[in-house]
Every structure is written in structure tokens, then in C-alpha cells.
Amino acid sequence: MKANIASCAIEDSSLNIAKVEGKYGYLVSGFKDQIAAALRGGLEKNFRKLCGQ
């Protein structure tokens, strides 16, 4: 995420799940786009909370 703290503007937001391993890796692999979108949304939401928006 690229954000301007002074103006509270999010300039770019991206998140990738690069590697998936372990017991439940196959499940994470199947839903990695949805998981990445949810994590990205949470980061943006919490950044806006910090800025008071």
C-alpha cells in the first residue's frame, strides 16, 4: 500500500499471497484472491480510521 500520511490519500493498494504451504495450503491457494482482497480492504479501512475519515 502506498499512502500519503499528510493528506490521508491512498495512492496505490495491492497485496499478493506469494507462497502457500502447510496442512491447509490447498485451501488458501483456492481462495488466495479473495483472502488478498479482504486483507487489502482491511488495511485501507484501518488507514482511514487512523486519519479520522
The full 3-state SS of the chain, as one line of letters, equals CEEECCCCEEEECCCCCCCCCCCCHHHHHHCHHHHHHHHHHHHHHHHHHHHCC
Q: Is the predicted pLDDT of residue 34 greater than 90, yes or no?
A: yes
Question: For residues 14 and 2, what is the distance between their CA atoms, to the nearest angstrom?
Answer: 9
Q: Is the predicted pLDDT of residue 53 greater than 80, yes or no?
A: no
In the structure, what pLDDT confidence band is assigned to residue 6 with cuts at 50, 70 and 90? confident
Q: Is the predicted pLDDT of residue 47 greater than 80, yes or no?
A: yes
Grid coordinates standing for 23?
Answer: 496442512
Mean pLDDT of 12-41: 90
